[in-house]
Amino acid sequence: MMSMVRNGSTVHGNEPFANGEDKIGGYKPVKISTDILPSTMKTKFYKLSHSNDNEDVIESCVRILHQGGTIALPTDTLYGVACLAQSTEAVEKLYEIKARNLLKPVAICVGDLYNVCQWTRFPEGLIESVSKTLGLEDKLKFQRPSSPGVLYGLLEDLLPGPVTIVTERSPSLNNTLNPETSLVGIRVPDHKFIRDLCNRLREPLALTSANVSGENSSLRIEDFRKLWPKLDAVIDDGEVGTTYVNKSLQYAKEGSTVFQIQTDGLSFK
């Protein structure tokens, strides 16, 4: 079940429902005060359901992204702003929305472990070290670099989860994305919606935190309210980060752990 608010009016699917109706299909739609929604704002708001697969929301997001749009959506750690990584125009728009330094790279997000190796490259030293440590022959050696081979177990220990791996980029990745570096950060968030969306798209999302650069990151959509008018859609899943964030230790809003694999494949930072 999907609901959204557009220009201050609540919409269920593509049809408006009667004023005063609290629930449709047993699901309470998202309500956002019209006081904070300018009448000229075209942003669409979708509330995720935990009782179905949100396929209707995913299809709406696919259409928006294929048209070069940007969306805010939940991850396992923070709310992020995303667009198609393979679209130069969409990436430029993402930087503009964030007021982000053009020299500061953005990470990409994919839906599954095998997609990680489609868009990145791992050092031979790492592959050889893992093979030796595990006592396994790399039977997929001649299928690399698009197959994770013996790295699958290592990647499976890290992903999906609140981790960004920085390694060499694949030639298939848009060369205007982070053009000043041969590296790229890649994530597989532990959040069903964003993974399902990536798998439906079959291409990576450029993903960065939903905030103006330098400001606090966002755990709720209200935290990045000032960005709403600049976005094509906002996907609301309530408060995020509760699985991995220990708020009593002030880990909230820190985002994912980033580590870079060194070129020798035997060390990282």
Nearest to 254 by CA among 164, 165, 186: 164
Q: What pLDDT shows up at residue 29?
A: 41
Percent of the chain residues topping a pLDDT of 70: 76
| pTM check: above 0.85 | no
Whether pLDDT at 34 is above 50: no
The secondary structure of residue 86, as a DSSP letter, is T
Cα–Cα distance, 251 to 160 (Å, whole number): 19
Q: What pLDDT shows up at residue 223?
A: 94
pLDDT-based confidence at 1, cuts 50/70/90? very low
**DSSP-derived 3-state class of residue 166:** strand
Q: What is the mean pLDDT of the chain?
A: 81
- Most confident range (mean pLDDT) of 8-17, 27-36, 113-122 is 113-122
Q: Which helix (H) or strand (E) holds 206?
A: strand 205-209
* Helix 192-201 and helix 55-66, axial crossing angle in degrees, nearest 10: 50
Can you say whether the dihedral through the CA atoms of 263, 86, 59, 9 is positive or negative?
positive
Q: Residue written as tokens 């081979």? A: 149
CB 189 within 8 A of CB 75: yes
129 or 73: which leads in pLDDT: 73
Query: For residue range 160-198, what is the model confidence (pLDDT) as tens digits?
Result: 999 999 999 999 999 999 999 999 999 999 999 999 999
Domains belonging to the chain, first-starting first, are: 44-239+253-268 (3.90.870.10)
Cα–Cα distance, 123 to 262 (Å, whole number): 8
Q: What pLDDT shows up at residue 71?
A: 98
CA 157 to chain centre: 19
CB 129 within 8 A of CB 45: no
Q: What pLDDT shows up at residue 249?
A: 42
Query: For residue range 80-99, what is the model confidence (pLDDT) as tens digits?
Result: 999 999 999 999 999 999 99
Q: Which two tokens stand for residue 114?
A: 């095998």
Whether pLDDT at 21 is above 80: no
C-alpha separations of 258 from 105, 183, 184, 187, 218 in Å: 13, 13, 11, 10, 18
CA 89 to chain centre: 18
Q: What pLDDT shows up at residue 33?
A: 43
Query: For residue range 188-242, what is the model confidence (pLDDT) as tens digits?
Result: 999 999 999 999 999 999 999 999 888 888 999 999 999 999 999 999 999 998 7
